[in-house]
């Protein structure tokens, strides 16, 4: 598998020279400064690519191979009047990337919010810090801070009771921090920063859009962009919903096997693929993650090899686990990917780029300013663990 590393550009605390040392060869990045709906130009892509790939002869070269992500404007997700111009802009960005020989595009179709967590530095028993989705805290925000109409229907009575007690014990500073964690925009998110007022307004635009209609809008989008991807030799890799369930009354439509079965059956081109994110898929106990890796093997154009741990039976609470200690069988997932790579090697197809994801903040990264989930040492540990699995399985395969 092709080891890659997510980099957030020149202002990322983890520098390109750091990435050379961790064992990755490829860079996953985007033009994060360009707002959703604005087309990327070939010149801007070329400039960023040159920054990554221009390397002194004494250093290991890096290559930009995967884009994460070209943001899909919310008007496209709602099929709002005039949204076609944003699809045109997305296609222009696709063309700019292909002109620079960058041909794997990760994207998502989550409305209003991208990936969402309540805690950005939850302390583990080891002393390291992790990202966490505390369902009670999310419910407290939804019910008592956001005060969303209809929120009480979306949370069961026991969660509402715990959320009320949690909210009552929160200081004003804690309430403000929870709000910021949820709506201020996280690193790598493809949505903008919100205030409570703009967040309520954005939610209101989705009042008439359910899961079925959101999926129809996704299909409409893909029917426009996939033929262009086919012509350019570009692979599109949709990221599963994170978390993989409806949130704040917003529908999500890329969470379970039935969602992806329908997506690939409706738009059958092999350019229409998946970013196989173990952590996102593994949040749901009804997702057989290794089974999904086998089922969609030829559609996996990119992989996020991280894991999550569900904390309470029947609760939606989870945290980012160590890469080999979560609720999914990471060894089985890597085995499925290596099996697919052996098939691709025979067919002459590209192998699978992967990256570690959402590493713990630990050791010398504690106390530093880092992008939540994207500190260096925790991801380096995850990358080493995945490469160890890969080496062991590859050796076992040669032994028959």
Q: State the pLDDT confidence band at 315, using cuts at 50, 70 and 90.
A: confident
Model confidence pLDDT, tens digit, residues 4-34: 999 999 999 999 999 999 999 999 999 999 9
Q: Is 107 part of the annotated catalytic residue set?
A: no
Q: Is 206 part of the annotated catalytic residue set?
A: no
Instruction: Pull the structure tokens for residue 193.
Output: 């920063």
pLDDT, position 186: 58
Please tell me the least confidently modeled range out of 42-46, 133-137, 173-177, 185-189. 185-189
Domain containing 276 — which CATH number? Answer: 3.20.20.150
Residue 128 to residues 64, 249, 379, Cα–Cα distance (Å): 30, 33, 13
Q: Is 301 part of the annotated catalytic residue set?
A: no
Model confidence pLDDT, tens digit, residues 200-225: 999 999 999 999 999 999 999 999 99
Q: State the pLDDT confidence band at 188, using cuts at 50, 70 and 90.
A: low
Catalytic residue among 32, 194, 239, 360: 239
Catalytic residue among 304, 319, 323, 360: 304
Residue 328 to residues 27, 322, 333, 370, Cα–Cα distance (Å): 26, 11, 8, 27
Catalytic residue among 259, 357, 365, 376: 357
Q: Is 357 part of the annotated catalytic residue set?
A: yes
Q: State the pLDDT confidence band at 283, using cuts at 50, 70 and 90.
A: very high
Domain span holding position 201? 2-398
Structural domain total, the chain: 1
The residues near 93 (Cβ < 8 Å, ≥ 6 apart) are 39, 40, 70
Strands 2-6 and 353-355: parallel
Q: Is 304 part of the annotated catalytic residue set?
A: yes
CA-based nearest residue to 247, from 172, 331, 139: 139
Q: Is 374 part of the annotated catalytic residue set?
A: yes
Residue 121 to residues 2, 199, 341, 360, Cα–Cα distance (Å): 30, 23, 36, 9
Q: Is 387 exposed, middle or buried (0-12, 13-18, 19+ CB in 10 A)?
A: middle
Q: What is the pTM (predicted TM-score) of this model?
A: 0.96
pLDDT, position 185: 63
Catalytic residue among 301, 319, 323, 358: 358
């Amino acid at each position: 598998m092709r080891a890659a590393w997510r980099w957030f550009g020149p202002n990322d605390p983890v520098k390109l020279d750091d990435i050379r040392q961790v064992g990755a060869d490829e860079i996953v990045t985007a033009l994060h400064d360009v707002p959703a709906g604005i087309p990327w130009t070939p010149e801007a892509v070329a400039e960023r690519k040159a920054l990554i790939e221009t390397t002194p002869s004494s250093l290991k070269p890096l290559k930009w191979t995967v884009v994460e992500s070209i943001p899909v404007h919310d008007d496209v997700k709602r099929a709002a009047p005039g949204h076609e111009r944003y699809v045109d802009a997305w296609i222009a960005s696709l063309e700019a990337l292909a002109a620079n020989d960058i041909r794997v595009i990760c994207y998502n179709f989550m409305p209003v919010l991208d990936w969402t967590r309540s805690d950005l530095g939850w302390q583990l028993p080891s002393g390291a810090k992790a990202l966490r989705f505390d369902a009670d805290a999310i419910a407290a925000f939804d019910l008592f801070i956001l005060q969303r109409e209809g929120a009480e229907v979306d949370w069961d009575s026991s969660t509402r009771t715990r959320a009320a007690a949690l909210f009552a014990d929160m200081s004003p500073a804690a309430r403000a921090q929870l709000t910021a964690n949820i709506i201020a925009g996280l690193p790598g998110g493809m949505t903008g920063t919100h205030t409570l007022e703009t967040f309520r307004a954005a939610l209101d635009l989705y009042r008439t859009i359910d899961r079925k209609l959101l999926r129809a809008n996704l299909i409409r989008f893909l029917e426009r962009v996939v033929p262009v991807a086919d012509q350019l030799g570009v692979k599109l890799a949709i990221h599963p919903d994170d978390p993989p369930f409806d949130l704040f009354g917003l529908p999500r439509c890329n969470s379970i096997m039935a969602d992806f079965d329908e997506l690939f059956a409706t738009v059958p081109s092999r350019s229409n693929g998946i970013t196989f994110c173990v952590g996102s898929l593994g949040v749901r106990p009804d997702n057989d993650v290794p089974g999904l890796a086998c089922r969609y093997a030829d559609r996996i154009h990119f992989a996020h090899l991280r894991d999550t741990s569900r904390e309470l039976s029947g609760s939606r609470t989870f945290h980012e686990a160590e890469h080999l200690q979560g609720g999914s069988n990471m060894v089985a997932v890597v085995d499925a990917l290596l099996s697919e790579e052996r098939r691709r090697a025979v067919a002459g197809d590209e192998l699978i780029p992967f990256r570690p994801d959402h590493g713990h903040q630990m050791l010398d990264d504690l106390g530093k300013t880092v992008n939540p989930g994207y500190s260096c040492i925790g991801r380096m540990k995850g990358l080493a663990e995945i490469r160890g699995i890969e080496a062991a399985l590859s050796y076992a395969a040669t032994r028959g």
